[in-house]
Structure formats: C-alpha cells, structure tokens
Amino acid sequence: MTFEDTPAEAAPRSRPRKPKRRISVIGVIGELLITAGVLVLLFLGWQLWLNDIIVGGQQQAEAGELSQSWALDEQDPTPQPTESDAPAEPTGPGEPAVMAAVGNAEKFAVLIVPRWGADYERSIAEGTGAKDVLNKIGLGHYSGTQMPGEVGNFAVASHRMAYGGGFKDLHQLQIGDHMYVETQDGWYDYVYRSTEYVLPSGVGVIDPVPQAPDATAVDRIITLTTCNPFFSTAERLVAYGVLDTWYPRAGGPPAEIAGTVNARTQ
C-alpha cells in the first residue's frame, strides 16, 4: 500500500490588526450631549411623575391633618379659640358662614373632589405665589376674590403638573360633580357647571361674575384655574361651579364624603 504525499501544513497566517479607534472632539461632544439628554429626561421624569406622586401624597396628608384638627376642635368640650380662628356665625337663616380673609400663605380650607378619587383632598392657602403657596402647599386662593360661601367668586389656582399637580384632572369634571370646600365652620358643596379655556391674560374669569366685570354678583361661585395643555402655560383651563348646599360642622359632613371625613377621628 502506498500513501500519497501529504502536503506540508500551511504556516499560520497572522491576523490583521484592527485599526485603533480614534477619539475625535466631535465624538466626545456627541457622547456628552447624549448623556446630558438622558439626564434631562430622567429629571423630567422625576419632576413630572415621581415627584408629583411624592409631593401630592404629602399635600394630601397635610390636608387630612388640617381637617382632622377642625374635627377635634369640634369635639373639645372647652375649646379656646383665638380671635383670628374663631368660627364665624352664619349671616342669616340657612345662609352659609363666611370667614374673614386670612394672611398670605395661611391654610384655611380643604378641597375635596370625589371625581378625582375617594382620597383626593388638598389644602387651600391664601395667595397664588409660586414659591410660598403653589409649589409648597398646592392650591392657592386668588387674593381679592370672595371667601368660601360668600356671594361672588371664590377663585382657586393650582399647578396642572409638578409640585403635586393639584388640578391635574381638572378636565375630567362632569356636569353635576360635587366639589366640597371644608373650613373650620363646615362644608360648602359646590356643583360643577362648565369649563372655559382662556389666554393667560384672561383675568376676567376671577371677577365676582366671571367675564362680566360690570354685573352685580348674586350667585356663590367657585372657579378653579390651571395651565393648559399639559407641560405648557400657553393657556388656562377654567372650571366653574355654583354653591348648592351648606353643611354646618355641628350637623356633620355631606353623605358623599362622610366615610372619609369621619375615618380621620376614629
């Protein structure tokens, strides 16, 4: 038997060297811009979503504590109110109590809107300054407009997004929805009637008779304002309601929110 000559093993070929990656100034700038973009998106996510949840929860808890303090004061057999926080007397048979104006950034009411969830409640403070009221407390009363239950226009502002987003769901209100304003005197039940969109310059919405500066007020109105659309301040979303019923504190809260209100003192 013969064997064919086997060819000699080929010498191993050397692998071509990969060219070294050149780092250019443009590449570095591009990577920095991408990193910056990611950081901006993360910040926006924090500011507009996670921060809203955290701050909104804090504002809700503070509103509950304020409401609970009024309930406990009512149960105290020997309350010692000061001149500034003494309950106001109703102005007449069946008419709601109207409290005196309070100082800037002072909390004096709680807004409860069942349409926005069984646990929605936010404190209302005097003034609409961003740093001391809207960013910190959440809801602010337009100084110079009427107080809860007063004939005229009780006007309130809040952020749509960020800092708790107090009026994030303002567009979800439906005809007939109840908006309760609680104070130390009791509960004012406003019923939602309509929505309007205006430019930021449309300050007529907070007139005693909205958009009718020369008219004489006869109704007790609530006006809620916020920015629109989301993530923009291009215009204002405005919701109106009219006072339907006044519930003095001594008689207990309205049936729709009684469970939530009473649970705080149990």
* CA distances, 27 to each of 21, 34, 35, 40 (Å): 11, 11, 12, 20
Could you give the residue numbers annotated as active site? 159, 227, 236
Dist CA 98 CA 112 (whole Å): 18
Q: b/e string for 80-118 if b means 16 or more Cβ within 10 A? A: eeeeeeebeebeeeeebbbbeebeeeebbbbbbbbebee
Q: Which phi and psi angles does 168 have, rounded to 5°?
A: -55, -35
DSSP label of 199: -
Q: State how far the alpha carbon of 3 is from the alpha carbons of 6, 8, 97, 244, in Å.
A: 8, 14, 118, 111
Residue 215 pairs with which residues in a beta bridge?
Answer: none
Judge whether 165 and 56 are in contact, CB under 8 Å.
yes
Q: What dihedral angle (degrees, nearest 10) is formed by the CA atoms of 186, 158, 212, 148? A: 10
Which of 173, 172, 190 has the alpha carbon at shortest distance from 181? 190
Question: Which residue in this structure is represented by tokens 């800092």?
Answer: 163
How far is 20 from 215, CA to CA, in rounded Å?
A: 80
